[in-house]
Amino acid sequence: MSDVATTIQAGKGAGIDPKQGRRAGMAAFVGTTIEWFDFYIYGTASALVLGKLFFPDASPAIGTLAAFATFAVGFIARPLGGIIFGHFGDKFGRKNTVITTLLLMGAATVGVGLLPTYAEIGVLAPILLVLLRVVQGVAMGGEWGGAVLIATEFAPPKKKILYGAFAQQGSPVGNLLATVAFLGLTFMSSEAFNSWGWRLPFLASAVLIFIGLYIRLRITETPEMIRAIESKTQQRVPLVEILRDHLGVVLLAVGAVVAGVAITYVKTTFALSWATSELGFSRTEFLQIITVALVAQVIIQPFGAILASRIDVKKAVLWMLLPELVLLPLMFFMIQTGNFALAMIGMVLATAPHAMYYSALAGVLAQLFPAHIRYTGISLAYQLSTAIFAGTAPFIGQMLFNSTGSIWPVVVLGLGYVALSLTCMVLLLRGKAWTSRDGQLEQA
């Protein structure tokens, strides 16, 4: 395990400008919102339309499985992006790195919106779709770590977890915008939606990218990164030091991230496909359910960071994750009734625990590694977790459902994600006997 005390002291006495801190928090929030919007619209489109347009020769179930496989490819590419952009972010700074990831994501997303379908160019269409999804994954892999560090490294002492929540809030807001975008499109005819309507959210990304660039260009480099550059502590290859001296922390962090990322795709991407293809929900109805749950997440999520900043982090983790072990099965039971209101209530209830946990996650992870290798360290841990668990969640869920005809193996899968994160986070925190005081991790 790494000496976290050294890392924690790095942020003290930095002379942080409060105005720059607020601007950095906003830049992290807006940038991640845009990048997550781009990433999530692909997930929604894969559940609704990409299978029939890019894999038309397959049966509906297999076509959906193929679309979810291309969805997973983006996640598999994310560790590569985390390593590449983590390297440059640790050596040359956070600001220019996150500007690059934003541009890369925008180009790939607009490219999907312009892509001809299988009916127009044959097998080249799914090949290009996969390639663009890979580019999205590489960009997203570099984005998250940079956004978190822009927020937390500008944070005043003892507010790391709270500022880290700015970057985390971009995920539900981006998901909400993506869902609302497709919800609006469900009111057009199926012919129009399948022909050109599904492309509109992808093309709209171009406008959002310019907004994100304007905001990010106005921030400065983070104080902790400036000190690392001035002290010349950067490693030639940060990944080497991470794997040599911090591998235990990385592995536990991979497990700790799972509940914060994989559950979302079990209860939205997979559940959307399941409910609309098997239970008789219309696209409009279930997107409305997801929209309400996302609004609830946007409101509830920040309280996780507040809780973890006020009490012992281990206790906060238990309070946030243990309810999910009951609420996740309850959600699927309520959806399976086919009742719109019950499904919505179940989705909202199951959203709260993992959303609050996700809010606190970034600020905790950002304090695990020294500044000169921090971008690489948190990116590697987070993106490996998303690649192994989150990106495969809809695919594995659909495969389990196809093979058993029952939703309950999918529920067990989700509960396994929660149990894994609970175990790894408790071990991670206990490894250094940490306590939390106002969002600052300290050795007891």
Helix axes 124-152, 160-185, angle to 10 degrees: 150
What does the pLDDT read at residue 324?
95
Fold of 4-443: Growth Hormone; Chain: A; (1.20.1250)
The span from the CA of 61 to the CA of 65, in Å, is 6
What does the pLDDT read at residue 4?
37
Confidence band for 110, pLDDT divided at 50, 70 and 90: very high
Confidence band for 230, pLDDT divided at 50, 70 and 90: confident
Alpha-carbon 311 to chain mean position? 25
Averaging pLDDT over each range in 14-23, 167-176, 296-305, which range is the top one? 296-305
Give the range among 151-165, 272-286, 339-353, 427-441 with minimum mean pLDDT: 427-441
Tokens of 276: 């609309």
pLDDT in tens, 128-146: 888 898 898 899 889 888 8
pTM comes to: 0.82
What would the mean pLDDT of 251-258 be, rounded to a whole number?
Answer: 95
Reply yes or no on whether the pLDDT at 419 is more than 90: yes
* % of the chain exceeding 70 in pLDDT: 90
pLDDT in tens, 151-205: 888 887 778 888 888 889 988 898 889 888 888 887 888 888 888 888 999 999 8
The span from the CA of 31 to the CA of 24, in Å, is 10
**CB under 8 Å, gap of 24 or more: what pairs does 206-210 form?**
206/106, 206/110, 208/34, 208/37, 208/38, 208/106, 209/34, 209/102, 209/103, 209/105, 209/106
Reply yes or no on whether the pLDDT at 23 is more than 90: no
Confidence band for 258, pLDDT divided at 50, 70 and 90: very high
**Residue 312 CB coordination number (10 Å):** 15
Reply yes or no on whether the pLDDT at 437 is more than 80: no
* Contacts (Cβ under 8 Å, ≥6 apart) of 411: 328, 329, 332
* Contacts (Cβ under 8 Å, ≥6 apart) of 234: 90, 91, 228, 372
Reply yes or no on whether the pLDDT at 382 is more than 90: yes
Domain ranges (residues) in the chain = 4-443
pLDDT in tens, 323-340: 999 999 999 999 999 999
What does the pLDDT read at residue 337?
93
* % of the chain exceeding 90 in pLDDT: 34
Mean confidence (pLDDT) of the chain: 84
